[in-house]
Amino acid sequence: AEDDLLVLVNYSETMPDDFHRNIVNLYGVDVDERIVEPFQKMQAAAQADGVSLWISSGYRSVQRQSELFDRAVEENQDNGMGLQQAEAVAALSVARPGCSEHNTGLAIDLNGVREDFDTTPEYEWLAEHAVEYGFILRYPEDKQEITKIRFEPWHYRYVGPEHAKAMQERHFCLEEYVEYLENQR
């Protein structure tokens, strides 16, 4: 359903049990089938402009997310943090199990999680064109207070072109947009 594309999965909203996704393989990465065609069109358009886009991470099961989170917590504990602090610090960069957008299959990490990705021609191209294909920068630098996730220039989420353009026009992150739509009803 169209509303499925706006499913909010974050620190306070866990993955709905009844969320429907059909996971397919795209270039060796699992994603929801609904993003295949839009991504391929976006990739081709970027290529035509001399910019190369590739998916480094897509769908993750809750179990896989759990492993990633536990590993981050362990690393923090190895660095001398107590459990509570280790979990809190881990949650800033690795979503808790069931709280990751990657569980939806609608989120993708592009071009290999690079901290300096926002300085690249690829990032500039995405900033200009991603919404045309229905993709949004999910964790913008100026929305960390709301998303509770640090700036991730590589993490894009498919919401469909109509929603993506509406969000861009209003300068909303997904949390703000979902709340805005609920208030319109």
75 vs 20: which has the higher pLDDT: 75
Count of structural domains, the chain: 1
Max intra-chain CA distance, the chain:
50
145 found inside a domain: yes
Q: What is the pLDDT of residues 17-70, one digit of tens each?
A: 888 899 999 999 999 999 999 999 999 999 999 999 999 999 999 899 999 999
Q: Is residue 4 scored above 90 in pLDDT? A: no
DSSP 171: T
The Cα–Cα gap between 86 and 152 comes to 20
143 found inside a domain: yes
163 found inside a domain: yes
What residue type is 161 in one-letter code? P
Give Cα separations from 108 to 72, 132, 169, 180 (angstroms): 20, 16, 22, 24
Sequence-separated (6 or more) residues with CB below 8 Å from residue 80: none
86 found inside a domain: no
Q: Is residue 1 scored above 80 in pLDDT? A: no
9 found inside a domain: yes
Of the pLDDT bands very low, low, confident and very high (cuts 50, 70, 90), residue 2 is low
Task: Tell me if 131 sits within 8 A of 42, measured CB to CB.
Answer: no
Q: What is the pLDDT of residues 98-153, one digit of tens each?
A: 899 999 999 999 998 788 999 999 999 999 999 999 999 999 999 999 998 889 99
What integer pLDDT is reported at residue 18 of this predicted model? 87
pTM: 0.90
175 found inside a domain: yes
The count of other CB atoms within 10 Å of the CB of residue 25 is 12
108 found inside a domain: yes
Active-site residue list: 152
What integer pLDDT is reported at residue 40 of this predicted model? 98
Closest CA to 24 of 9, 40, 35: 35
Looking up residue 126, the CATH number of its domain turns out to be: 3.30.1380.10
Q: Which domain holds residue 26?
A: 2-60+100-184
What integer pLDDT is reported at residue 43 of this predicted model? 98
What residue type is 131 in one-letter code? V
Closest CA to 147 of 10, 36, 6, 19: 10
